[in-house]
Structure formats: structure tokens, C-alpha cells
Amino acid sequence: MDLGVDEVVQEPHPGWFSVYKQLMKLNVIILLQITAICAILVHDLVVDLNRTWLDTGLTIAVTVVGGTLSAGGSNAINMWYDADIDPLMRRTKNRPVPQGHISPRGALIFGTTIAIIGSSLFFIVSWKAAFWSFFSVLFYVLVYSIWLKRRTPQNIVIGGIAGSTPPLIGWAAAAGDSILESLNPMALGSPIPWLFFALIFFWTPP
């Protein structure tokens, strides 16, 4: 029976850009940022018609950069934590850490640094967006990676909460600190971003 376990065959060092790209899982992050951009556009085209295209463009730029760094940092930290099991599985044995392209400590430092920088960037547009970004990072790392991943097959379902937050972050970034939004950071004033959130969350499980 094939358990998907295989030996690690050392590959040539691909270059640092490629290593960091793999640590961040940029291909996956692009999809997440598209959902955040959709939330921003819906907010600006439906809810707040007073915002200019310059406002929208700035919000999208901050959200894409901040979201890419924070989500990418979370993924890199996850690879640091999984350094002991990634070499054992065919699906993960070619990741940068088991391949020796970067040390576990290097992955942790890189991931933590860009996650903090990325989440902090959201303070430019909204403290609520920063709140949700930090929440997403902490939930992914502490709840999904460290607590659930090795304990229950339902980890991908519960962990999907972190991957469903980009629309909340994008909406909060577009809303800024508007008095029209709820003062409670846990409650974004409109149901629209929560519908985005629910759609992604229920789509995530296989």
C-alpha cells in the first residue's frame, strides 16, 4: 500500500527568490487577494459612492501588499513548524525546508518578519483591517498549524476560517474608520463581507 511516503532527494538550490516564493505559497495567495479586491470594489461601487478611484487604488495596493506578506508569512511559519514531518510525505518533501534550501530557523524569521510587516501595513487604511489581518495570522499559525493539524482530520475545515478572512480585511480597508461602520471590530457593519466569508469558508472543504 502506498502511503505517500518517499525519500527526500536533494535538489539543486533554486535561488532565493524561488525559495521565498515557495515558502509564501504565492500561487495560493493570489487567489486570496482576488477575493479581498472583490470586497473592496463592491464596497466602493455599492456602499460608499463618495470614494474616488484614487482611494480605491490605494486601498487595493495596501491590501494586496499587506495581504500577500501576512498570508505568505503565515505559510512560511507553518513550514517551519512542519519541518519534522514535511520530509516524510511525497506532497511536501520538495518544500524549501526539507530540501535544505533554507533552515527551519530561517523560515521562521522570514515568516514572522513579513507577517508582522504585512499586517501592520493595514494601519495605513484602517485599524480594523489590521486587526483582522493579525487575527488571520494568529489563527492560522496557532489554531490550524500548531493545535489542529496533527490532531484532527477536520483541521482543514476549521482552519479555513483563516483563509476566508481576506474579504473581511478588504472590506474593512475600504471602509476605513468610517462612523457608518460598527465600532465593534468583530462586527463589520454590512452583511456583504460576511457573505463573501461564508462562501469561501464553505467552498474550502473538499
Per the structure block, which three cell numbers stand in for 42? 463592491
CB atoms within 10 A of CB 1: 2
In a domain, 149, yes or no: yes
Query: Tell me: the pLDDT tens digits for 149-183?
Result: 888 887 888 888 999 999 999 999 998 865 455 44
pLDDT at 99: 93
In a domain, 100, yes or no: yes
pLDDT at 7: 53
142 contacts: CB under 8 Å, gap ≥ 6: none
Q: How far apart are CA 164 and CA 175, in angstroms?
A: 18
Positions of the chain with pLDDT under 50: 1-3, 5, 8, 179, 182-187
pTM for the model stands at: 0.85
In a domain, 7, yes or no: no
Per the structure block, which three cell numbers stand in for 84? 519534522
Domain of residue 62, residue span = 16-203
Contact 62, 33 (CB under 8 A): no
pLDDT at 46: 86
pLDDT at 64: 98
In a domain, 43, yes or no: yes
Backbone φ and ψ for 85, nearest 5 degrees, come out as -110, -20
Residue 113 is part of a domain; what is its CATH number?
A: 1.10.357.140
In a domain, 8, yes or no: no
- The secondary structure of 87-116 as a DSSP string is GGSTTTTTSTTTTTSS-HHHHHHHHHHHHH
pLDDT at 16: 84
Q: How far apart are CA 206 and CA 198, in angstroms?
A: 15
In a domain, 145, yes or no: yes
In a domain, 2, yes or no: no
pLDDT at 10: 57
- Number of compact structural domains in the chain: 1
In a domain, 107, yes or no: yes
